[in-house]
Structure 1
Amino acid sequence: NFHVVNSLFLVRCRGVNENRTRIIVKNPFQLADLLTQFIKRSGYTSGQLAKLSGVPKPTIVNWMEGRVRRPRTLNDLVRLTAVLHLSEAEASQLLQSAGHPTIAELRLDLQQMPDETLAKLINHWETKPSTTANKPAPFQAMAHLPYFVGRWELLEKLRTMLLAGDHATIYSIQGMGGVGKTALAAHLAYQLRSHFPDGVLWARVDTSDTMSILSTFASAYGLDVRQYGDLGSRSRIVRELLANKRALIVLDNAQSSEQVKPLLPPTGACAVLVTTRRQDLAVMRGASRFMLGPFDPKGKESLLLFGQVLGDDRVAEERPLFVELANLLGHLPLAVDIAAGRLAYEPGWTTTDFLQRVRQEQRRLVELESEDQSVRLSFNTSFQHLTEDQQQFFAALAVFAGDDFSSEAAAAVADMSHELGQDYLRKLYALSLLQAGRETAVDQPNRYRLHLLLRDYAGEQLGDETAVQQRLIYYFAAFVPAHSHDFATLDLEQKNVLTALQLARALGQTSDFVTGVLAIYLFWEAKGLYGLAADYLRKMETACPLEGAGAVSPQTDPMIRLKFHHYRGRLAQRLGEYIEAEARYETALALARTLQTEAHLSHLLRALGVLAARRGDYVLADSYYKEGLALAKALGHGGIVSNFLRGLGVQAYMRGDFAQAEAFYEEGLALIGMLDEKAPDAKGEGGMLWGLGVLAQEQGNLTQAQQYFEQSLALARQVGQQKRVILLLRMLAEIAVVQNLPKLAEDYWQEALLLAQDIGHRWQEARVLSEWGEYQIEVGQTAVAHETFQQLFRLARILQSRELVATALFGLARETAVRGDLELAKERGWESLDVFTAMGHIKMQEVKDWLVAVDG
């Protein structure tokens, strides 16, 4: 009984049956070549095969590399053939290449010498030739992961579409490397297996040749297509085979349309699911596309995955550490899985130790490798599709530390034209090396986002880091001054601007650092980022010219010094540090007078007037306001004139001169829209709406005032004007009280108070406390009123505001009287009256009337 197989020769040898003829391999690499071909087709790694078959990984590697020509353990080889989903003919071919009997011969041997283990293994193949009718439906999906978390919404959408009766399009799961596309497809295959009577076909199209895949698909239904030697013919036969079947076909990790097209069935009952990193495959035009990103940072998927591997108890106990770890991994599923596996199965790790490694950018990708899993290798697959110029462009993007960046900025740091930069960005996006960033206006450059780990990877490819960093500094040194009043644009670029400022300071580019800080200060102030502004102003104050005699710094350039002291004063004022604010303003005012800069003089005089008014020195405040008003009128600055007039109106109101107050106020409101202002943007429009609301409120039209305030509030939130948000919330609370909507009023005041405390604006915090306390007295909530006015009193002392001190004392006097302690109430009332009288404040008459009523 001789068998001829290729270059094999036959000899008699001992074995299961002494009279059996055994095949000996003449070519020692026959097994290695054949096994490698089958493994490549399957898409499995040696590590995955080891887990699925129970055969040690080193053993499989030895077989693949030809170090072992005839495996001693027949059972291990049979186990491997089953895991590879080989047909009986293919399994027999592989066994013969290793010098073992075919499957049919093994069945005969087992009849003479029973072996229960071997019998169970070869039962994988039917003992008789089967027809398509009685052959079980194929299921070629990769092994199901032992754990799968999240993706619930996307799973439901895909399930609904894949279970449709007919499929007019193919379906694709697209996303960056390591995001879990294959795992999601496998999970779906196992979930939907019972819904596809003709089975699930699976192919790893980037590592298997198309002809072999077509053969595997055909043989799954008992059809041998090996006689069709050209791709077109074999593809046509398989299409005919699939035309009347209802199967799920998964084409994994497609990198080109050519890998997909020959494998597509006719449109109909078969559902085709393609996973790919590519966004630009022609075959996907018209497909139902599903973008798969990293786990949601606000969700729990990353922690759930950690819990699946490490145990929920450990993750719950060390939750803050795992939250930080997930954030540092960018919530990329592959990275989370590798980290969890290393913590679980490598000895000596603590979560803190591993986290300390991952915090180091230069070590992060090094730690994300485990056996055949590697985040870096996953990224390599896409990176290798770039030209050398495109690779250098991608590497330059590592300098952006913000949430995203514009195409214009990307081209600038890469030192190329905007047009070429846009082309390269589209290429990177097509390979899922970039994702779409935040949406912008139609006339603004597109924005792109680089995943945190891809940024680390790009940084590894970056050669001349300093040159790229300097280009980032130069770009934003010009960008920020040009957009200093465009808060919406600065909001998009804030983190990138901070990166540029940090680099400028580190590289000794003091001029760019100082220019950038002064240009972005007003944005920080409007956003309520007082701590950040204070930090950078301190750094600026200590900056020294390191670039030569022409460098600018607070110490060398009078205009820089003027702006610095002006902004430092504004910041101190908002933090309630009025002595510091006044000193800074006076220094800036002296410089402005020396430099004869009327615009700065006007601003500084108004600022000093506000401070004087808050101290209760109305005479000095009037003096500042009137000098500044004359300057503003001479300059034709309508908005500034309006501010001065409204300030004078408040002064007159506090003195009880209502006619003069109304005249100032209405004149100020009328000037809000003077022609010197730019075309209203969100900020300017919001200011006009606010002014119109104030006027409507003064005229008693609360409904109209409410509408104006709500519109202004929406715009203030849009551009991040936190101070104006607080003011408008206070005004809306006041209207809600008049409208008998106490819950709404409380919500407005509480939001305003929390925001004022959050940004550290003490004056606005005090104003909210004052209004909230007054309301609590009106509704009889004396306990709340007591606590509120106590808070106000402590804050007023810090602010050194006589008006607020007197207001707090009067509030405490009234709530104390309600509690029955009239002596203490009158004592506080008299203290309040003394302060209001010294100021000439309008409230002194109200306090007098209250004291008379208490005595009566």
Structure 2
Amino acid sequence: MGPLEVWTGGERVRLSGAGQQRVLAALLLSAGHVVPLSRLVDAVWPQDPPPTAEKRVRNLVSELRRLLGDGGSDGPVAAGAGYRLDVGEDALDAAVFDRRVRRARRHAAEGEPAEAVTEFRAALNLWRGPVLAGLECPALQPQVTSWEERRTAALEEDIDLELDLGRHHSVISELTEQVAAHPLRERLAGQLMLALHRAGRRAEALRVFHDTRGTLAEELGLDPGEQLQRLHQRILASDPGLAAPPPDRRKRVHQLPHDLADFTGRTAELNRLVSALPDEGEEATAVVINSIDGMAGIGKTALAVHVAHRLAGRFPDVQLFIDLHTHTAGEQLGTTSAALDTLLRAVGVPGEQIPDKLHQRAGLWRAELADLKALIVLDNATSAEEVRPLLPGNPGSLVLITSRRRLTDLEAACTLSLEVLPPADAVALFTRIADDARAVTEPRSVQEVVRLCGHLPLAVRIAAARLRTRPTWTLAHLIERLADQQRRLGELATGDRSVAAAFSLSYRHLTPVQQRLFRLLSLHRGTDFDAYTAAAVADITVQEAESLLEDLLDIHLLQQHTVGRYRFHDLLHTYAAQLVLEEDTEADRRAALGRVLDHYLASLQGVYRLERNGCTLVDAMVATRSAGIAFSDLAEGQTWVSNELDGILGAIRMAAADPGAPIAVAADLLLALDPMGDVAFLWPRLNGPAAEVADAARARGESRAEARARYMLGGGLWQIDRLDEGEEQIRRGIRAAQDGGDEAIPERLLNVSALLASARQNYEEALEIFQEGLAACRRSGNWWSELEILNNIAALHIIVGGRPQEALAWVTRGLELVDRVGGQPYAWLYLMINRGRARVALGRPAEAVEDFHAALKASRARAFPFQEALALQELMQATRQLGQLEQALGHAEASLAIWRQLGQEAKQTEIREVQEEIHAELNGSHPLTT
């Protein structure tokens, strides 16, 4: 559509010589069809071709094949007695012209003149001048002439439509040029006459008729046709029938997509969006802007369209929807300027009247809507900067914006971040879409399906659609398929809908650094994580991690339910986990796990030192590269452990499962959790990972790691009264410590061994093992372990040996050691409880109550729930002995509540038995507590 040009990859391909250009032109004019060799010869040599003409044409074809091949095309191919050149559908401007003209004619036939004009103009704008301008080639002239005729015909059809739309002013200058170029085309002359007449330029219109009549007579000896003559007479008579139709610019424009018949829930969100508008009848003072953001598949567009239909009656003039294509598969990123072009054309502005500059288009857009009540839905926006030029200026308009990113800098009346559906709404949505008795009769199964879908509307819709279209499936079968983590995202796809594809569109628009962090974070197995963990997993600074996490949060690839802590939606975690396997090497993943283990151990060592100040065991743990988190106090450290526990245990289990991971670090992580195991009674959760690490360490021949893991496992089993298993683990731990030469762990193993013997009422055996442990403590210099054993010996004398006076002597030794070393609240607390127990056994309950109250106060101050419950239980016994039965029952109830929270069934049973005895003593005056 102009001079012959070839472009590839944004660069122009230089053609050498007229012969090469003529051969290519001949092939392109018949693209997809065979051009005989003789015709190519004629194209190159209009007269007297040389004897070697055919050979030289073949050489030219070879050059073209090489030239076009460098640009990614196959070039001309031999076919029959000639050559054929195949090009892509959009690679040839002539093909694009034909396609758009066909589209324009279809719009015209369907009564859509404005849309037809848009397509005609897009087709005509492809022309850069005469076809093959500058290339003289008589053999191709018939085809060139044919194309010029097609262009003129398309222009005439377009002008007719534009005149019908009342756009006579805008076509006069173009028609004047065309009539001068084609003085014998009566249709163009008539169009110019009509446009001039409607523009009030009657004399000029008559002059066009006079000039055309003269040209026809001079060149062809003919008079104008009947149609042109009749138009001339009507202009002379000022026929009112020639008046321009009323402008179509103010016609009502209603282009909202259809609303969803099965739209479910979102009542609060709907009310919030609607309430941003002034009450009906109240005068608006500003354009209302509502922004809806959320993760892919959350239902932003569905909500915006639903609200738009609900409010459509309040905006009768213009209702427009435009997808900015930011997150649409197969679409390039839309520009604000292009969006304005689309919107302006939608309200009837002719294409040639749309200015080129962005600020001019924005101004025209505001002017077009100035006195209209308009509702505009801007779907898939990326930024406030992109959206601002699209906003109307009149106060009678409403703009609904959807985005996967929080548009925090947009001046919106309402900014709504969508969450997943509440479970009940997700069940209702699934049931409505499935439209099946299976969904109605098995409500619990439906609840499980929507849970596996993460209550994400898109996922729920797809799962329901799959059930509806598969009558042989049961809900149990669907649940089985969705429960498989490896295939879940694959199951959540149907037709052109796919949860993974929706996520992919968000992921593609991340920077490489953001993408890497997103992938690596999937290696974290906890519920949520902080910036320190993210920094470790990606090997970046905490400041960099915070910035990237906030970016991922803004684009809804992460969630945040507590300040400073981030988490994945379940399906996004699954998606990221698939990506990390596809895009990161095993070495990359293992290195990330190693950094996280190192960070966790360094941080836990800090908490351990605060909990067990002076305990030398922490110095025997694996050295770390990370400095870990510096906690200001023990409470802060323990809060961090509680928050990160899922992640810590997940990392430990990953290390146990990966033969290349540092199992010694995993074992020391368990060891560092020892104090928190007591404080928060974590043993039921620690035992599984401890068993996995112990077995993995044994399989890898790492005896020190095995010994430490078996110590934790044996102690944890003792805590939940699985004594036989605990004893076996401790025996194996002692052997492993000997094999590995681990001098730091023996006293810990001996302490648990003695506790197990004590639990079996083996007083002498337990005392002997405790004494052996004390000797080991003195050899290692670990006076904290010595404190713990002194305390346990005191408890042994009270509970098993029945020797409270001896117990007090051991408590006194322990308290003296606490005074010497200072700062041992945990050990001091247990010593106070055991002193109170001894005093109760010696018949001195009043003194015991003072000890228990001191222990209770310290437990509460340091948030030690296990010890708090224990102190309350002992207070129950002491006050009962003092005859203070009402107080005893109060302490019993408080202790029972904590034991319930900790899942301590045995302790609950003990207290209920005492409660029954106290009630009996009160002659049944109080109902039994259950």
Same-fold status (TM-score > 0.5): yes
The letter for the 2-side match of 1:453 is L
Matched, 1:655 2:842: yes
Tell me the residue number matched to 2:254.
139
Structure 1: how far apart are the matches of 2:99 and 2:889? 83
Q: Which residue of 2 aligns with 1:270?
A: 397
Question: For structure 1, which segment, 262-271 or 478-487, has the greater mean C-alpha deviation from structure 2 after superposition?
Answer: 478-487
Q: Deviations over 1:461-483 (max 9, x none)?
A: 22123232222222223222222
Of residues 778, 799, 811, the one that matches 1:625 is 811
- Listed one character per residue, the Cα deviations across residues 216-275 of structure 1 (whole Å, up to 9, x for unaligned) are 544555554641232333321220122333322211100244532221111622122211
Taking the TM superposition and a 5 Å limit, the aligned residue runs for 1:96-135 are 135=251
Give the 3 Å change call, closer, same or farther, for CA 336–641 of structure 1 in structure 2: closer
- Assess if the C-alpha contact under 8 Å between 1:644 and 1:668 holds in 2: no
TM-score of the two chains, using structure 1 as the length reference: 0.64
Is residue 468 from structure 1 mapped to residue 592 from structure 2 by the alignment? yes
Residue 153 of structure 1 deviates from its aligned partner by 1.6
Partner residue of 2:615?
A: none
User: Is 1:553 aligned to residue 553 of structure 2?
Assistant: no
8 Å CA contact 1:239, 1:266 repeated in 2: yes
Q: How does 1:534-683 map to 2 (within 5 A)?
A: 534-539=687-692, 542=695, 544=697, 551-554=704-707, 555-556=736-737, 557-564=742-749, 566=751, 579=761, 587=769, 590-596=772-778, 597-615=782-800, 617-619=802-804, 621-622=807-808, 624-636=810-822, 639=825, 640-641=827-828, 643-657=830-844, 662=847, 666=850
Distance of 2:303 and 2:484 partners within structure 1: 31
* 2:322–2:378 CA contact under 8 A, matched in 1: yes
After superposition, the Cα gap between the structure-2 partners of 1:616 and 1:562, relative to the gap in structure 1 and judged at 3 Å, is closer
Structure 1 residue aligned with 2:916: 773
Unaligned runs of 5+ in 1: 1-25, 30-65, 106-127, 440-445, 673-686, 691-711, 789-856
Give the drift of 1:188. 0.8
1:294 counterpart residue number: 420
Q: Is the 8 A contact 2:797 2:807 kept in 1?
A: yes
Contact residue 518 and residue 564 of structure 1 kept, 8 A? no
> Which of 539, 546, 554 matches 1:430?
554
Partner in structure 1 of residue 565 of structure 2: 447
Question: Structure 2 counterpart of 1:276, which letter?
Answer: S
Equivalenced residue count is 641
Which one-letter code corresponds to 1:507 in the other structure? Answer: D
* Residue 270 (structure 2) pairs with residue 155 (structure 1): yes
1:781-800 alignment to 2 at 5 Å? 781=924
Q: 1:163 to 1:728 in 2, by over 3 A?
A: farther
CA distance in 1 between partners of 2:873 and 2:795 (Å): 22
Shift of residue 542 of structure 1? 4.8
Whether contact under 8 Å (1:307, 1:315) holds in the other structure is: yes
Q: Aligned to 1:176, which of 295, 310, 315?
A: 295
- The correspondence for 1:375, drawn from 487, 499, 505, is 499
Whether contact under 8 Å (1:730, 1:749) holds in the other structure is no
Distance in structure 1 (CA, Å) of the matches to 2:764 and 2:319: 77
* Partner amino acid, structure 2, of 1:535: G
1:389 and 2:507 aligned: no
CA-to-partner distance for each residue in 1:716-735, whole Å, 9 max, x for gaps? Answer: 7xx57255268669979999
Partner of 2:55: none
Instruction: Indicate which of 197, 204, 207 corresponds to 2:323.
Output: 204
> Any conservation in 1 of the 2:836–2:851 contact (CA below 8 Å)?
no
Give yes or no for contact 2:489–2:499 (8 Å, CA) kept in 1. Answer: yes
How far did 1:332 drift?
1.7
Tell me the distance in 2 between the aligned counterparts of 1:380 and 1:613.
Answer: 65
- Equivalent AA in structure 2 for residue 526 of structure 1: V
Structure 1 residues 278 and 668: CA distance shift in structure 2, 3 A: closer
Q: Deviations over 1:95-154 (max 9, x none)?
A: 99999999x99xxxxxxxxxxxxxxxxxxxxxx96778995x433222211212222222
2:526·2:646 contact (CA, 8 Å) conserved in 1? Answer: yes
1-structure distance, mates of 2:269, 2:762: 56
Is residue 756 of structure 1 aligned with residue 880 of structure 2?
A: no
Given that 1:303 and 1:322 are in contact with CA atoms closer than 8 Å, whether structure 2 keeps it comes out as yes
The CA distance in 1 between the partners of 2:764 and 2:257, in whole Å, is 72
Change (3 A) 1:540 1:380: closer
CA distance in 1, matches of 2:907, 2:700: 42
CA deviation after TM superposition for structure 1 residue 500, in Å = 0.9
Q: Which residue of 1 aligns with 2:865?
A: 721
Tell me which amino acid in the other structure corresponds to 2:375: L
Contact preservation (8 Å) 1:646, 1:668: yes
Equivalent position of 1:235 in the other structure: 362
Match of 2:114 in 1: 89
Whether the aligned pair in 1 keeps the contact of 2:384 and 2:407 (CA below 8 Å) is no
Residue 314 of structure 2: aligned partner: 195
After superposition, the CA RMSD in angstroms is: 4.8
Specify the code of the residue in structure 2 equivalent to 1:303.
V
In 2, distance between residues paired with 1:155 and 1:569?
A: 65
> 1-side partners of 2:772 and 2:517: how far apart?
49
Distance 1:564 1:477, change over 3 A: farther
Aligned partner of 1:724: which letter? E
State the partner residue of 1:185: 304
For normalisation by structure 2, the TM-score amounts to 0.59
- Over 3 Å counting, the alpha-carbon distance change for 1:581 and 1:370 in structure 2 is farther
Residues 272 and 93 from structure 1, CA distance in 2 versus in 1: closer, same or farther, beyond 3 angstroms? closer
- Residue 370 of structure 2 contacts residue 393 of structure 2 at CA under 8 Å; is this kept in 1? yes
Aligned residue type for 1:292: L
Q: Closer, same or farther in 2 for the Cα pair 1:378/1:345, shift >3 Å?
A: same
Residue of structure 1 equivalent to 2:653:
502
Identity between Structure 1 and Structure 2 (%) = 27
User: Residue 602 of structure 1 aligns to which amino acid in structure 2?
Assistant: L
Whether contact under 8 Å (1:172, 1:274) holds in the other structure is: yes
* In 1, Cα distance between equivalents of 2:700 and 2:683: 29
With over 3 angstroms needed to count, the CA separation of the structure-2 counterparts of 1:741 and 1:765, relative to structure 1, is closer
Q: CA separation in 1, counterparts of 2:839 and 2:874?
A: 22
The question of whether the paired residues in 2 share the 8 Å contact of 1:405 and 1:493 is answered with: yes
The 1:729–1:305 alpha-carbon spacing in structure 2 relative to 1, beyond 3 Å, is farther
1:350 CA drift (Å): 3.0
Q: Distance in 2 between matches of 1:512 and 1:584?
A: 32
Structure 1 partner of 2:673: 520
Distance 1:473-1:589 versus aligned 2 partners, 3 A rule: farther
Displacement of 1:630 after TM fit? 4.3
Aligned CA distance change for structure 1 residues 430 and 536 (closer, same or farther; 3 Å)? closer
Q: Give distance in 2, aligned partners of 1:637 and 1:755.
A: 26
Paired residue type of 1:512: V
The Cα offsets for residues 443-470 of structure 1, whole Å up to 9 and x where unpaired, read as: xxx3322222222222222212323222
8 Å contact 2:253–2:317 — kept in the other structure?
Answer: yes
Cα contact 1:303–1:323 (8 A) shared by 2: yes
Equivalent residues of 1:585, 1:607 under 8 A apart: no
Residue in structure 2 matching 1:458, options 544, 569, 576: 576
Name the CA shift for 1:354/1:727 in 2 (closer, same or farther; >3 Å): farther
SS at match of 2:486: helix
For 2:521 and 2:864, the matched residues in 1 are separated by 28
Unmatched runs of 5 consecutive residues or more in structure 2: 1-28, 33-94, 124-149, 162-243, 326-330, 612-636, 708-735
SS of 1:559's equivalent in the other structure is coil
